[in-house]
């Protein structure tokens, strides 16, 4: 019995270290089990404690950035848009008087210069952000080459002195002559506009007290006949009894029938050279054919024929010359000194750069 009890006590002593060890392992396992859940909470707290700028920086870094090719492509597009805007602004500035054009041109140049500087500065900053600068680095890091690439200019070195071909010299000379011609045209147009304005102002001051104003007629070579047609329609209270083409034919027929009355005036207005084989009668006949079948402009000869064909008094107002009356024998004056059946026209010397012009004069 004693031996059995001693053996049992010995086994109990052996079991005690094992039980103690098992309890220690259970504690370690519990700690590890809880550590797994505690660690993420600590990590989350660390993220929350970080500065907002750091979080935003991480988010920004995740965004997709433009590649160099994409940036250069966008820069080329923006440069092209600025060039188009410059062309449109210069076209808009090429209107008005010479002084206005000069002032507008200076304003456009200043504005384009500012826009160009801002655009270059913006492009330089974007390229500098990618590590490209104006320093004396290699070609890949040279901002000047990138700017040239944006504009589509070759970055290869060119010889300082290149011989200009004769063909290019001729092209440059033609371009310079064309530019000078355009400047002369602009100057002439400015003068014409000025003369036209003065003429119109004088005519308006003359017609306004009479209660009259100018009715514009199409400047197509038929203006005299169209103006008379408009007056006939006004007098008839509706439609003219004759079209402008019928009036042309009537004038030609009357001039042929009364050649002796018109030939002296025809000779004074159409000087005939000695080298012509045609007779005077043939030349006058050719002129009559042009009157009835082409858009040749009408003048004093045709007005004289019209007043007799229509048996109408014709009054021609002008801002550049004294007023002219034709067919006074057909005039029946009223209180204003004008006939109720008078045809009233206006003569314009400076209306268009192509030549003289007639309009219809109507009550205001």
220 counts as catalytic: yes
Coil, strand or helix: which one is 155?
Answer: coil
**Do 354 and 219 contact (CB within 8 A), yes or no?**
yes
Distances (CA, A) of 274 to 271, 278, 280, 356: 10, 10, 12, 29
357 flagged as catalytic: yes
Report how far residue 313's alpha carbon sits from residue 303's, in angstroms, rounded to the nearest whole number. 10
The answer to whether residue 222 is catalytic is no
On the CB side of 123, how many CA atoms lie within 13 Å of its CA? Answer: 27
What is the 8-class DSSP label of residue 356?
E
What is the chain's Cα-based Rg? 48
What is the distance between the alpha carbons of residues 349 and 364, in angstroms, rounded to a whole number?
23
User: Pick the catalytic residue: 123, 313, 350, 357?
Assistant: 357
* Joined tokens for residue 174: 């033609």
Q: How many CB atoms lie within 10 A of CB 343?
A: 26
How far is residue 222's CA from residue 125's CA, in Å, rounded to a whole number?
A: 64
CA distance linking residue 255 with residue 262, whole number of Å: 7
272 φ, ψ to 5°?
A: -105, 130
Cβ within 8 Å of residue 311, ≥6 positions away: 327, 330
Residues 230 and 242: their CA atoms lie apart, in Å, by 10
The one catalytic residue among 26, 144, 220, 323: 220
Please answer whether residues 350 and 193 qualify as being in contact, where contact means their C-beta atoms are separated by less than 8 angstroms. no
| From 123, 223, 230, 288, the catalytic residue | 223
What is the distance between the alpha carbons of residues 358 and 221, in angstroms, rounded to a whole number?
10
CA distance 116 to 108: 12
Beta strands in the chain (DSSP E): 212-215, 314-318, 324-326, 343-352, 355-363
Residues designated as active site: 220, 223, 357
């Amino acid at each position: 019995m004693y031996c059995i009890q001693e053996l049992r006590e010995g086994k109990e002593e052996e079991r005690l270290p094992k039980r103690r060890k098992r309890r220690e392992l259970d504690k370690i396992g519990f700690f590890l089990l809880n550590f797994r859940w505690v660690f993420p909470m600590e990590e989350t707290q660390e993220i929350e404690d970080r500065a907002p700028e750091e979080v935003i920086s991480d988010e920004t870094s995740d965004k997709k950035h433009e590649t160099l090719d994409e940036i250069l492509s966008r820069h080329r597009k923006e440069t092209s848009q600025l060039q188009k805007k410059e062309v449109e602004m210069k076209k808009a500035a090429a209107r008005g008087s010479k002084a206005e054009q000069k002032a507008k041109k200076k304003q456009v140049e200043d504005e384009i210069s500012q826009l160009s500087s801002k655009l270059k500065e913006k492009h330089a900053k974007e390229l500098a952000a990618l590590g490209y600068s104006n320093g004396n680095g290699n070609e890949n890091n040279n901002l000047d080459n990138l700017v040239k690439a944006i504009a589509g200019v070759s970055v290869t070195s060119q010889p300082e002195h290149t011989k200009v071909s004769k063909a290019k010299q001729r092209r440059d000379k033609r371009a310079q002559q064309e530019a000078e011609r355009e400047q002369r045209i602009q100057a002439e147009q400015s003068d014409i506009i000025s003369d036209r304005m003065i003429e119109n102002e004088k005519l308006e001051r003359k017609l306004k007290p009479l209660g009259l104003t100018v009715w514009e007629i199409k400047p197509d070579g038929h203006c005299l006949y169209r103006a008379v047609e408009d007056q006939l329609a006004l007098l008839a209270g509706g439609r003219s009894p004759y079209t402008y083409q019928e009036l042309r034919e009537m004038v030609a027929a009357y001039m042929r029938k009364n050649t002796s009355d018109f030939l002296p005036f025809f000779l004074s207005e159409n000087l005939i050279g000695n080298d012509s084989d045609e007779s005077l009668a043939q030349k006058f006949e050719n002129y009559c054919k042009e009157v009835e079948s082409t858009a040749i402009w009408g003048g004093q000869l045709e007005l004289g024929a019209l007043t007799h064909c229509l048996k109408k008094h014709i009054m021609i107002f002008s801002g550049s010359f004294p007023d002219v009356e034709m067919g006074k024998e057909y005039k029946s004056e009223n209180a204003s000194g004008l006939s109720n059946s008078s045809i009233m026209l206006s003569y314009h010397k400076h209306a268009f750069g192509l030549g003289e012009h007639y309009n219809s004069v109507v009550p205001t």
